[in-house]
Amino acid sequence: MRNQRAKGEGTVYFDTTKNRWVGAVKVNGQRRKVVGKDKTDARRRLSLLLATKNTGGAVINQRTTVATAMDSFMERGLPNRTNNGKPLSPRTINNYQWAAELINQEIGTVRLTKLTVYDIEAMLDRLSQRTKRPLSAASLRKVRGSLQVALAFAQRRGEVLHNPANQAEITPTAARKQPRRSLAPDEARKFLKTVHTERLGPMFALQLRVGLRPGEAAGLLWSDVDGATINITHSVKISPAGAAELTDDLKVESARRTIELPAEMADMLEVHRKKQVAERLAASSWKDERLVFPSDRGTTLHPRNSRRALVRLCETAEVTVISPNELRHSCASLLADIGVPNEHLKDLLGHTTTRMVDSTYRHRLRPVVDVAAKSDWTTGTS
């Protein structure tokens, strides 16, 4: 019995006289046939035959692999991509490069014409179940998204008929992103009273008071500190080898900003400068005198060590143990709680738009939502 397909898509049927599955379709006015070892194989071969309609009669190269497609996209497609008309940020490009490397390692040798949604989902499952650094659901979405874009690029160039990454589902058991925490006002005040007990306390106070990213705080240079203002020009990032590196490659262009400090923060930095001079003179060696917040040997501070120091400080202050990035969340939430407009928060945090402030960086700090009680529309007052 013939299998009904949409007009122009041909037909797949079992030829009882020859005991085999056949796919047939008209291409350029001529009836063409393919033979498969089973129904699925016949459909796949028919799809490849149909693809000649979309490629000017050229047959898709069945030897093209996923790695070839990824490399082609990275070399030619990615440099031409933009974000609202602007070049992609270095961080976005790095994300594509990271994802491409994982994809090539996992399914790079698979031919595009044989790549299925099941191959992609199996890759995502493996990445989520790795013994070392398993990927979270958010990271898996980045990998899938990169593959989707690369396959779409290959599809436009006639190298593949369809994009199976569009149907691939994220691993259901993959770790989900934990909601960000924020210090409540009372906790934040207790925290600031305790920062003087920790060598890196002023760095954490700076993140809490003006919302610096952890990498921006660790990458702050003394040349960028000018009394009551600081210029954000550098950041600390982790190299592929796992080392902390100072770079002027910021997350986004809007991250380059000048921030006026609260008076007590300017005073705290001046005290910190004097302590660091004494520490440097007492040390047997000191790597980089430019850094405001280096390690105890003057080297670039590794995020791992700053996280450990913050845990100790939170425990000493007897407040919720949070991560360095959650100090930034706390800054936005505390300022929003006293009425600072999102547009101002966006500038302080170094964002291009207020979207991230709205969706990510603001937390409700009051346990009771009192807007209905305080705005009684039944009386015509507010």
**Helix (H) / strand (E) containing 225:** strand 225-226
pLDDT value, residue 8: 62
Which has more confidence, 218 or 381? Answer: 218
pLDDT value, residue 371: 44
| CATH architecture for the domain at 66-166 | Orthogonal Bundle (1.10)
pLDDT value, residue 360: 62
- What Cα–Cα distance (Å) separates residue 381 from each residue in 339, 368, 369, 374? 21, 21, 19, 10
**350 and 334 Cβ atoms separated by less than 8 Å:** no
Instruction: State which amino acid sits at residue 237.
Output: K
Closest CA to 225 of 213, 217, 237: 217
Sign of CA dihedral 281, 287, 289, 291: negative
pLDDT value, residue 367: 45
The mean pLDDT value for 61-88 works out to 88
Q: How confident is the model at residue 382 (pLDDT cuts 50, 70, 90)?
A: very low
- Per residue in 122-155, pLDDT tens? 999 999 998 888 999 999 999 999 999 999 999 8
Q: Which residues contact 229 (CB under 8 A, 6 or more apart)?
A: 258, 259, 260, 261
- Per residue in 191-228, pLDDT tens? 999 998 889 999 999 999 999 999 999 999 999 999 88
Model pTM score: 0.61
pLDDT value, residue 5: 54
pLDDT value, residue 218: 94
Sign of CA dihedral 222, 228, 234, 235: positive
Q: Does 185-361 carry CATH code 1.10.443.10?
A: yes
Whole-number percent of the chain with pLDDT over 70: 85
Strand, coil or helix: 139: helix
Taking the C-alpha atoms of residue 325 and residue 195, their distance in angstroms, rounded to an integer, is: 17
